[in-house]
Each structure stands twice: as C-alpha cells, then as structure tokens.
C-alpha cells in the first residue's frame, strides 16, 4: 500500500476536498486489504468471486470505499463476520457513507470544521477495526489541522506533484469506466426498446383476440403470460437503466470534481517551480492524419493507453506514470502541447494499432492525430 496523506499547508474548501479525497482512498486501500486477508482465512481464496456471483456484480473493486461501505451495511453481507457488531460502529459507517456520497457529488460543504470532523470519523472507524496505517495517517492529519488552527505555518510540500499524478491517474480510470458504462447504457436501452416493441405487438394481438372473442383460451392465456413476462423484464431493464444512468452521472460529477482539483494542484506546482503553467511551442505536425484534429472519432478506441498529463505537460505511461520511453522528450512535449489544445484538462488517450490517437471529450471520442512514426 503506497498511499500517504498529503498534509495541507493551508485550509480552504478546495484543499479540504483534496483531504477528503485522500482519506477516502487510503481507507479503501487498507480496509480492502484487511477484508481480503480476513475473508480468505475464513472462506478461502475464492471468497470475493463467490460474493461477486451472489451480488451479480462481476467487476468488484475491493478497494472502492463505496462498495465496501454498501456491502458492510447490508445485513446479509459475509463481511459482517470480520467487523465489529455494535450499533455504534454501524452508525459510524452510515454517517461515513452519507458523507462520502455528498463529497462525491460536491454537495458536502467542506468547511474546516466539517472536514476535520470527517477525518476524525475516519480515525474512529480505523481504531475500531485496528487499521494501523490509517490510524497513523489520520492522527497526523488531525495534528496538522490543530497546528494550522493555532497559527503555525508550513512550507509547500514538494511531493504535491506526485499527488497530482495520482489524481490524474484516477481521472483517467474514471474515463475508462465512463466509456464502459456508456456502452452498457446503450446496450440496456437497446434491449428495453426491443422488449417494448415486442410488448406493443403482443398488446395488439391481445386486443384483437378480445375483439374477435375467439374461443382460443389456451393461445390467449399463453400470449397473456408472455406479455406479463415481457412487462416484468421491461420493468427490470428500466430499473437497471436508471441505475446505470445514476452510476454514469456519479462518475461524470466525480471526473469534473477531480478536474478542479487537478487545476488547483497544477497552479500550485507552477508557483513552487516558478515556471509558467503552459509552455509555448509550435504544434508538432503529426504525420498521416486520418481526419480533422478535434473531430468525432467514430472508430473503436485503441487498446494502447497513454495519460496526457497536465502537471508534467508530457505523455506518461498509464501503468507506471513515467514518461513514455519510446518517444523522445522533445517530441513528447510537442505532442502533449498539441493535444492539450484539444483536451486542456488532460486525461486518457487511446492509440490503436495504426497509431491513431483519440480521447474522451464529453461523451464522445475525438481525434488527436496519428503517432505511428513513434511506435515500435
């Protein structure tokens, strides 16, 4: 587990959102590891797969705080075997779930006192479960709050650039999720439309049978049952469609929130390093453009993933967060500046086998250019 909390040098609402973001990520990592070790010793290594089958949710992220809190608050959850049984503990989890959801949608008023209370809540829950790293980090954060309130000052943390990289990586991951969820959304809507068309035809047939008053009771009952089954399936698909819409909207809100944090951190880095936030350079002329730069890319997204970093103004590897080693620094910087004109907030870039690069802008993929000359 690599997460360490970035201690603030000042407290304001933007910085407070970053503190809550940090605390939530740390809790998810250590509590997720705790659950995995405890449950594997009780139910074997396949416990998470069995839980996924039970919940019919086959891409469970064990380190996602939203999943962990929802699962622990489900009365039938197997995780209840390894956490405290007291009503007080579950009340704390319910409070944390509410705060986390409000923070996710930026409905949480991140005042200094409210943010300190959230850190204290994380600290209390970590004590109840004995999460050692969380206990130490949350304690340091509470002490920093007290020091700032007493008037102490601290220099800017130079490691803030690493934190920006982490948040950019999280933003890129959310973009991946948005594309997948948008595909699921369209698929579910297509299925719903198909079922509703079948229902319309079945309803017409039923009315025709009733009007003609034919004595085909068996056929009528069978068709009526099929209609009832289709109606039930349509209701289930409507519910699934609404859940997928809500999940997608939540990710979109979270992405916008992270963009604001990235902008704030990038501004802080430019002040610490005393360099302009955007380097002026002539756009690189990428070869073999397939279409106009910035236009909608209607082909499938490429499998090669690159992160367009605002903080570094560079192209970095999505897995290692290090600059791409197969493109020279000068070319990377020029390409990055060129792409940032299309996607100023940075994010995930997808490159296909032919070297065509595209990125998510709103709900659509847009074309950035072709970098086949730089690929091995």
What was the pLDDT predicted at 221? 84
What was the pLDDT predicted at 257? 61
Same domain, 136 and 20: yes
Same domain, 25 and 90: yes
Same domain, 77 and 186: no
Same domain, 122 and 227: no
Same domain, 123 and 180: no
Domain boundary among 97, 125, 149: 149
In whole angstroms, what is the distance from residue 52 CA to residue 65 CA?
16
Same domain, 132 and 208: no
What was the pLDDT predicted at 281? 44
What was the pLDDT predicted at 102? 86
Give backbone dihedrals phi and psi of 359, rounded to 5 degrees, phi first: -140, 160
Report the domain count for the chain. Answer: 3
Domain membership of residue 19 as a residue range: 13-149
Interior angle at CA 34, CA 30 and CA 36, nearest 5 = 115
Same domain, 223 and 184: yes
What was the pLDDT predicted at 179? 79
**Cβ-based burial of 276 (10 A; exposed 0-12, middle 13-18, buried ≥19):** exposed
Instruction: Extract the residue ranges of the chain whose pLDDT is less than 70.
Output: 1-3, 105-106, 157-164, 166-167, 170-171, 173-174, 177, 181, 246, 248-289, 376
The 10s digit of each residue's pLDDT in 253-279 is: 666 666 666 666 666 555 555 444 444
Residue 283 in domain: no
């Amino acid at each position: 587990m690599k997460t360490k909390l970035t201690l603030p040098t000042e407290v304001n609402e933007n910085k407070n959102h970053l503190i809550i973001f940090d605390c939530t990520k740390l809790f998810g990592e250590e509590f997720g590891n705790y659950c995995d070790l405890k449950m594997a010793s009780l139910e074997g290594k396949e416990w998470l797969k069995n839980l996924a089958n039970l919940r019919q949710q086959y891409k469970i992220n064990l380190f996602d705080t939203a999943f962990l809190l929802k699962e622990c608050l489900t009365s039938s959850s197997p995780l209840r075997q390894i956490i405290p049984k007291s009503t007080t503990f579950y009340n704390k989890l319910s409070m944390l779930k509410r705060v986390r959801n409000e923070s996710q949608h930026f409905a949480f008023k991140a005042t200094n006192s409210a943010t300190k209370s959230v850190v204290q809540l994380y600290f209390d829950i970590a004590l109840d479960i004995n999460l050692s790293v969380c206990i130490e980090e949350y304690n340091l954060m509470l002490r920093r709050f007290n020091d700032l309130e007493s008037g102490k000052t601290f220099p800017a943390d130079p490691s803030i650039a690493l934190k920006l990289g982490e948040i950019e990586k999280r933003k890129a991951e959310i973009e991946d999720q948005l594309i997948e969820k948008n595909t699921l959304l369209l698929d579910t809507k297509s299925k719903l439309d198909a079922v509703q068309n079948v229902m319309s035809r079945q309803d017409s047939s039923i009315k025709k049978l009733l009007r003609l008053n034919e004595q085909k009771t068996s056929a009528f009952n069978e068709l009526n049952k099929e209609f009832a089954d289709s109606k039930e399936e349509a209701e289930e698909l409507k519910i699934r469609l609404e859940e997928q819409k809500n999940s997608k909207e939540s990710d979109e809100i979270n992405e916008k929130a992270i963009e604001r944090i990235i902008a704030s951190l990038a501004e802080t880095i430019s002040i610490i390093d005393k360099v302009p936030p955007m380097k002026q350079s002539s756009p690189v002329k990428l070869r073999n453009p397939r279409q106009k730069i910035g236009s909608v890319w209607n082909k499938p997204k490429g499998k090669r993933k690159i992160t367009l970093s605002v903080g570094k103004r560079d192209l970095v590897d999505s897995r290692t967060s290090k600059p791409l080693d197969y493109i020279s620094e000068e070319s990377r910087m020029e390409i990055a500046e060129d792409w940032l004109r299309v996607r100023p907030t940075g994010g995930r870039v997808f490159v296909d086998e032919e070297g065509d690069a595209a990125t998510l802008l709103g709900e659509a993929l847009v074309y950035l250019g072709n970098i086949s000359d730089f690929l091995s």
